Structure 1
Amino acid sequence: MGDVLDGARGAVSDRWPYPAATATVGLSAWVGARAAGPSDDWYAGLDKPSWQPPARAFPVVWTPLYATIAWSAGRALSRARGRERRALAAAFGANLALNAAWTWLFFARRSPADGVWGALLLDVSNLHLVRRVARGDRTAAAALAPYAGWCLFATALSASIARRNR
């Protein structure tokens, strides 16, 4: 009987990583969005490079990126067990906290320089996350590549804006 209950608990718990990941990613996006965005008057007044995407590009890019983060987290967490699952959940949580924090550092603090530091921390977290996920699921890790790439682009953009607006 114990084996049946353990099996049932395992089957149920294996379904929770996707909804939990989706909720966590959604919360991160919501918290980050509260800090303002490219339509902010302060931001509009900054000197930006010619390769700055238009404001309408950001939700078009971030929506599928957040979806793939949630999918990757759900898939990776559903395959991991025990200590590795907890460590993986912590890595995703830390990454999403850094993701949301960047917006607060850059926009709410009105500090492109702080945004660069936040972006660099996020890039390091992305590298760590992709490597950790790849240990258990290369497909889930590959799904994070566009997110990591976009964050590198955001780091370069933040650095350019910070340099132009000292």
Structure 2
Amino acid sequence: MENVFYYDTRIGRISIIENGMAITRICFANKIELNNELNIEANETELLRETIKQLEEFFEGKRNCFDLPLEPKGTEFQKKVWDALQKIPFGETRSYGEIAKTIGNEKASRAVGMANNKNPIPIIIPCHRVIGANGKLVGYAGGLDIKEKLLKIEKDYRR
């Protein structure tokens, strides 16, 4: 059984989902349908409260890294990319090509982009820090406006 709770934040409404031991997903403005097939229940747990607390600290510039148990579901390649994303320092960006090189497959820029797109725990796994090779903001599950807000938060509060 997973638990979900919805929060209104300075970047919009998000839902956070956990499995009793770790955060499994964060969704932007999405209503997760609660039914027996999905095995999700609306229940604000201690882990969800701690997660939103850390996210709010991040949005306020009081936190530049997260200390939460994470359990993203994906392929081995996706997990490799998501691990690389977590190593991008707060306030910095990398291109898809740079991430491909980091994971040892410099020709995998497009595959990195697809893995980035499938990131189930945005913000905490900072896919917003990945930009196009030309420095332009490209693609983001929450929309480019949210990506821009997240990068601005990091730029404004970079220490």
TM-score w.r.t. the length of structure 1 is 0.27
More strand by share: 2
User: Which of 1 and 2 has higher RCO (CA within 8 Å, sep 6+)?
Assistant: 1
Q: More helix by proportion, 1 or 2? A: 1
TM-score, structure 2 normalization = 0.28
